[in-house]
Structure formats: structure tokens, C-alpha cells
Amino acid sequence: MAAEHKQIHRIGILTGGGDCPGLNAVIRVVTKAAINKLGIEVLGIEDGFLGLIRNRIRPLGLNDVSNILTRGGTILGTSNKADPSHFMIGQADDGKPIFEDVTQRVVEHVREREIDVLVCIGGDGTMSGADNLVKQGVPCVGVPKTIDNDLMHTDVTFGFATAVQTATECLDRIHTTASSHHRVMIVELMGRNSGWLTMHAGIASGADVILIPEIPYNLDSICKAIIKRSKIGKRFTLIAVAEGAKPKGGQQVVNKIVHDSPDPIRLGGVSTVLAEEISERTHRETRATILGHVQRGGTPIAADRVLATQFGHKAIQMVAMHEWNRVVVMKNGRTDMAEIAAVANKQRVINLDDPIIGMARAVGTCLGE
């Protein structure tokens, strides 16, 4: 049910979690529509929920959002460590972090600034933070972003298409050097526990092997695919692997633990492990490349600019209609809404009966099965 109607005078907008292309497009449309269509003030909150914790909030005017549509990143800054319900305030004598729930401080800052509604742009972690504020009586509207494309209840998130394009271009470049040197080349992509980015970029680049978290891989199957290619005259193999991929019966490769983060586990390094194992078993020169944060950067492609603007426009409509405590989603090509609580702290993974899996198998791609 929509919130009780009251006059809206001021909204706040923040970008949380990892950056991605298209964030500025959302900030732009929300700010312009709020001022031009609704006649309300807009406050920009710096560095996600950290800005609400530290009270780093500033007015956003039309000039502030002019000429930002094509810019990557976010003009407001972001943080993937600032969870108000579990915020690091210091360290104990033994070096362990000390956490505190500072949600009430955030609520006080929202009330001091007389913010009627918060527009929270982010992924599942940001929606979890928004859901926490909703429970404290702070109205929120969510806008889904992530290069991982793993938010529940939406078919797509902005930032994903640009990340796929970037990753595909990188795979294409490595494809040519793999062919020239007759090597097995492994490219590691982001995605956490979902394989959307790796699957789309892998298919787009014609990767010979695609390994995703949803399908634990069998090393023997991968090596057999490499040797089979060699026997038919293919002297190289291109492998796209998601950072969250793991062997059957094995564990994901953890790069590091970030103790002051609400999501402390940082995956990474599976490509290096695979390169050593494949080289040892097949006696073929094998190299690993981890794309890392290059996948997040750069100017958004046209599709993401349009999608981000669609989402932002829907968000400001929801603000005006008092459809609060919901997140914008895309279903069957049309913008819709879902409860923020239904999206918070959840991940949308690839179902094994998804058409994209069948498509990969149909063209002979090895999925490590």
C-alpha cells in the first residue's frame, strides 16, 4: 500500500555500493524532473550511506547535473563499506574492528535536513540499507544498478550492458593474442556468485570455455575440451571464467577478507589457479588475465544511458505518487515496482534451464560439466 499522502518538499539521492556506468544518468533525470516537474528541492548525499552517517549532504541544482549523462562513475561518490546497521567505528587493541549500529544517527540527519523521501541507487546491499531505513520510518525509493545483473525481481540492471561491452572488447583482444601464440588464455570476470556477466561476454566473444558459479566445473572436462580443439587444428583456447566459479566439490577462491566491510569476502584468483592446473595437465602454455575494475569504468553505452534514464524517471514518478518503499524493476520490457524488502540481500543467479545456457551448449561451448 502506498504511503499516506503528504506534501513533498525535498528529496535526497545517494549512490551506494560499487560504481558502474549509468549512475549519473539517474542522478540527472531524478534531479531535473524533481525540480522542473514537481518543483521540489533535491539534496545530493555524498558517498552513499556514509554521507548520511557523516551528514555530508549538499543541494543539487540543474547546473550540477548538466553535462553528466555521458560520464562514468558517480558525481556523488559511493561507498561499499558504510552499512548504518553495522558500521565500523574503530579498532580494538587486538586490531579487530569495532562495529556499531548508527541507524538512529542517520534517521536524525534525514530529519534535520527535512528530507521527505530518499532515492537510493544501488544493488542488493544498498537495498538492504534502504530496507533498514524503511523500518525506521524513512521513506525510500530504490533504483537497481549493478554490473552483475543479479538483483531479484528485475530482468536487467543498468550498468550491465556497458560492462558486457567492456568485457567483450577485452576478450576479443585476448582472443587475437591467444591465436597468435597458440596459448590457452583465461580471462577472469566479475559477478560474485552469479554468472550473467561472464556468460554474456563469453558468448559475445566466442569463448571456447565459459565457467560460471551456477555450474561447478570439472577440470577433466575443461582439459578434454582443450585437447579436442587441438586435435582438430585449433591451437588455442579462450576461457571466460567468473570470479565465483568453483570446481565440483571445491570452494571458491577468496582473494582477501575486508574486515571493515559488511560484505567482507572478496573473490578473485580462480583464473590463476586454473592456469596452473591446466598447464600441468595439458602441457600447453596457459596465461591468466584478471580484468578487475576495468569492467566498472568508462562512459555508459547508449543502452545503459536510456535504461538508467528510464529507471530514474520511474523513480521520480513513484516519489510523486507516494509509491514509496519500493524499487524500480524492469519486467518484460516495461518498468514496474517491487518491494525493497523483496530485493534486499538477495541475488538473482542463472537458472540451469535458462535459454542462455542452452544457447551456449548449442554452439559447442564447454561449460565445464
Provide the terminal-to-terminal Cα distance of the chain, rounded to the nearest Å: 46
What's residue 289's pLDDT?
96
* Mean predicted lDDT score pLDDT of the chain: 93
Question: Which of 6, 212, 29 is CA-nearest to residue 116?
Answer: 6
CB 195 within 8 A of CB 349: yes
Residue 75 clears pLDDT 90, i.e. is over it: yes
Q: What is the set of domains in the chain, with CATH numbers?
A: 10-158+300-343 (3.40.50.450), 163-296 (3.40.50.460)
CA 142 vs CA 45, 316, 330: distances in Å: 15, 10, 13
Helix axes 160-181, 302-320, angle to 10 degrees: 160
Distance CA 122, CA 124 (A): 7
pLDDT at 4: 52
Residue of 47, 83, 148, 208 marked active site: 148
pLDDT of residue 204: 97
Q: Encode pLDDT of 2-32 as tens digits.
A: 445 678 999 999 999 889 999 999 999 999 9
Q: According to the 3-state scheme, what is the secondary structure of 231-274?
A: HCCCCCEEEEEECCCCECCCCCCEEEECCCCCCCEEECCHHHHH
Summarize the confidence of residues 303-329 as an average pLDDT. Answer: 97
Residue that the C-alpha cell 590463476 belongs to: 272
Does pLDDT of 185 surpass 90? Answer: yes
| Cell (9 digits) for 208 | 571456447
Q: What residue type is 104 in one-letter code?
A: Q
pLDDT tens figures, 97-133 = 888 999 999 999 999 999 999 999 999 889 999 999 9
- What is the per-residue pLDDT for 340? 96
Based on the residue annotation, tell me whether 47 is a catalytic residue of this protein.
no
Confidence class of residue 1 from pLDDT cuts 50, 70 and 90?
very low
Q: So what's the pLDDT on residue 88?
A: 85
